């Protein structure tokens, strides 16, 4: 059997047609997702139900034949497994018990305890490893320490991650201790996903863009490098995708600096810029704006071709620059895939 296209691209091969998958490909824009989620009850019940979580992971594979499936879970399950309560407010987003003092950091559960909470996630991975089509790559994931810490510190999502920046400035020791715990727990979590059958792992640093200068080095780059080095020691040859979202110039050389096989690029930079400055460093993933999945039309086709053409001279995995949104039209997704595969 020839090797899966995503794995080939991650090894640096330039394919005539880039393999394609989509962030948040299992999600509310799909009627079949909404039906399964209604069956599960709420979002977290869906995440912790291996049969239903595997089902929603498979839905976009059945509908579109994407080249990769991403485990259905959430980056906030790991901090929840360390102790703080987590819940989702319908129409608003996540809420979490806050961790803002050294005493609270020290009161987190020992990292080995995460498996008690997260074992259903590993079960989902096992089901998927069995049930996915032979050509489809299974991607596991976790949030990067900084992004996870921003939710633990603020207790919710925030536009500028202010609370985390304040803690970093006011109680550096507590902040660093928290980052270190998340870093070590993430290694255990991702390693367990790999043992269960994940073939690639991706680290989501959604808020990396608010780290500047030395902070970017200390809290985006170094924790990612530590996690990836540990994973590659435990699982030699494991491909890793890093996503320091909105890193801008920080994308240049990032993959090499952290030891990743691919860097995912958001749509705040042009594909031409990324092809010139980032892709010489290895495989890139991205970076069509998710807005085209809402608006469709000629712009969708033109911008999809533009991304494919820009990245043609190097290894590339086609993706959006960020997750698809609930108001997207499933037909636009099909049109994007058809355009990529005929470009
Ligand atoms: O990509 C995938 O399809 C895999 C599953 C996945 C989800 N979340 C499912 C989800 C992944 C990889 C994530 C990552 C995630 N979760 C990130 C990092 C990536 C990013 O988007 O920047 C972050 C910051 C979170 C935290 C989170 N989860 C937020 C802020 C929200 C609320 C916003 C929203 O879209 O409602 C979630 C909920 C969430 N995670 C949903 C899904 C499908 C929607 C839940 C629902 O069904 O109501």
What is the per-residue pLDDT across 158-210, written as a single tens digit (0 to 9) for each?
Answer: 989 999 999 999 999 999 999 999 999 999 999 999 999 999 999 999 999 99
Q: Indicate the length of the chain as a whole number.
A: 343
CB neighbours of 155 closer than 8 A, spacing ≥ 6? 95, 96, 97, 98, 163
d(CA 79, CA 193): 16
What's the pTM value of the predicted model, to 2 decimals?
A: 0.97
Q: Residue 28 catalytic? A: yes
Q: Is the pLDDT of residue 80 over 90?
A: yes
Nearest to 60 by CA among 334, 340, 320, 296: 334
Q: If pLDDT is split at 50, 70 and 90, which confidence band does 91 have?
A: confident
d(CA 126, CA 62): 18
Q: If pLDDT is split at 50, 70 and 90, which confidence band does 1 have?
A: low
Q: If pLDDT is split at 50, 70 and 90, which confidence band does 221 have?
A: very high
Cα-based angle 249, 164, 116 (whole degrees, multiple of 5) = 105
What value does the mean pLDDT take over residues 72-87? 98
Distance 163 CA to ligand 1 centre (A): 21
Structure tokens at 326: 């609930």
Q: If pLDDT is split at 50, 70 and 90, which confidence band does 2 have?
A: confident
| 8-state DSSP, 328 | -
Q: Using only C-alpha atoms, what is the Rg of the chain? A: 19
Nearest to 163 by CA among 176, 149, 178: 149
28 annotated to a ligand binding site = yes
Cα dihedral value 48, 49, 54, 59, nearest 10: -100
Protein residue with least CA distance to atom 5, ligand 1: 72
Q: Are 266 and 232 in contact (CB under 8 A)?
A: no
d(CA 161, CA 154): 8
Distance 24 CA to ligand 1 centre (A): 7
CB neighbours of 247 closer than 8 A, spacing ≥ 6? 208, 209, 216, 220, 254
- Which of 74, 171, 184, 215 is flagged as catalytic? 74
Instruction: Report the relative pairing of strands 262-264 and 240-244 from DSSP bridges.
Output: parallel
What is the average pLDDT value for the chain, to the nearest integer?
97
Instruction: Report the relative pairing of strands 137-143 and 200-205 from DSSP bridges.
Output: parallel
Cα-based angle 339, 341, 343 (whole degrees, multiple of 5) = 60
Q: Residue 302 catalytic? A: no
48 annotated to a ligand binding site = no
Protein residue with least CA distance to atom 12, ligand 1: 74
Centre a 10 Å sphere on the Cβ of residue 314 and count the other Cβ atoms it contains. Answer: 18
pLDDT attached to residue 343 = 76
Protein residue with least CA distance to atom 41, ligand 1: 27
Within 6 Å (CB) of ligand 1, which residues are found? 23-28, 37, 43, 70, 72-76, 93-94, 141, 157, 204, 206, 323
Q: What confidence tens digit (pLDDT) does each residue in 238-249 have? A: 999 999 999 999
- Residue 26 CA: nearest ligand 1 atom is 3
Distances in Å between the Cα of 238 and the Cα atoms of 7, 163, 224, 235, 291 are 10, 35, 15, 6, 32
User: Largest Cα–Cα distance of the chain, in whole Å?
Assistant: 57
Q: Residue 37 catalytic? A: yes
CB neighbours of 203 closer than 8 A, spacing ≥ 6? 141, 142, 143, 144, 186, 224, 227, 228, 240, 241, 242, 243, 260
- Residue 323 CA: nearest ligand 1 atom is 21
- Which of 29, 48, 151, 189 is flagged as catalytic? 151
pLDDT attached to residue 302 = 98
CATH of residue 119: 3.20.20.210
Q: Residue 62 catalytic? A: no
The H or E element that residue 317 is part of is: strand 316-320
Q: Is the pLDDT of residue 336 over 70?
A: yes
What value does the mean pLDDT take over residues 129-142? 98
Domain with 28 in it: 5-342
| 8-state DSSP, 221 | I
Distance 338 CA to ligand 1 centre (A): 26
Distance of CA 71 to the CA centre of its chain: 10
Distance 226 CA to ligand 1 centre (A): 24
Quote the number of domains for the chain.
1
Ligand 1 pocket test target in 22, 24, 69, 156 with most atoms within 8 Å of CB = 24
24 annotated to a ligand binding site = yes
Nearest to 178 by CA among 117, 231, 100: 100
Distance 26 CA to ligand 1 centre (A): 10
pLDDT attached to residue 254 = 98
Sign of torsion, CA 41 47 51 53?
Answer: positive
């Amino acid at each position: 059997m020839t090797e899966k296209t995503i794995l080939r691209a991650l090894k640096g091969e330039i394919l005539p047609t880039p393999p394609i998958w989509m962030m948040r490909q299992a999600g509310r824009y799909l009627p079949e997702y909404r039906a399964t989620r209604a069956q599960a009850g709420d979002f977290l019940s869906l995440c912790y139900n291996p049969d239903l979580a595997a089902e929603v992971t498979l839905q976009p594979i059945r509908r579109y034949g994407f080249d990769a499936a991403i485990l259905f879970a959430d980056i906030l399950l790991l901090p929840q497994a360390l102790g703080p309560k987590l819940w989702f407010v319908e129409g608003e987003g996540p809420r979490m018990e806050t961790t803002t003092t050294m005493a609270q950091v020290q009161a987190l559960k020992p990292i080995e305890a995460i498996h008690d909470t997260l074992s259903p996630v590993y079960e989902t991975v096992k089901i998927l490893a069995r049930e996915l089509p032979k050509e489809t790559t299974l991607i596991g994931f976790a949030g990067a320490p900084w992004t996870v810490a921003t939710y633990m510190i603020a207790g919710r999502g925030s536009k500028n991650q202010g609370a985390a920046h304040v803690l970093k400035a006011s109680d550096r020791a507590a902040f660093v201790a928290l980052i270190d715990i998340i870093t070590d727990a993430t290694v255990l979590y991702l390693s367990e996903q790999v043992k269960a059958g994940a073939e690639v792992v991706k680290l989501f640093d959604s808020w990396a863009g608010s780290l500047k200068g030395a902070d970017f080095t200390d809290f985006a780059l170094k924790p990612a490098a530590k996690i990836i080095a540990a994973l590659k020691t435990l699982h030699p040859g494991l491909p890793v995708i890093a996503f320091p979202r909105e890193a801008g110039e920080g994308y240049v050389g990032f993959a090499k600096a952290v030891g990743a096989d691919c860097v995912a690029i958001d749509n705040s930079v042009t594909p031409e810029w990324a092809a010139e400055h980032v892709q010489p460093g290895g495989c890139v993933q991205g970076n069509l704006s998710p807005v085209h999945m809402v608006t469709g039309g000629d712009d969708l086709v033109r911008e999809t071709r533009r991304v494919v053409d820009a990245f043609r001279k190097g290894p590339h995995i086609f993706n959006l620059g960020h997750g698809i949104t609930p108001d997207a039209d499933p037909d636009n997704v099909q049109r994007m895939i058809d355009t990529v595969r005929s470009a």
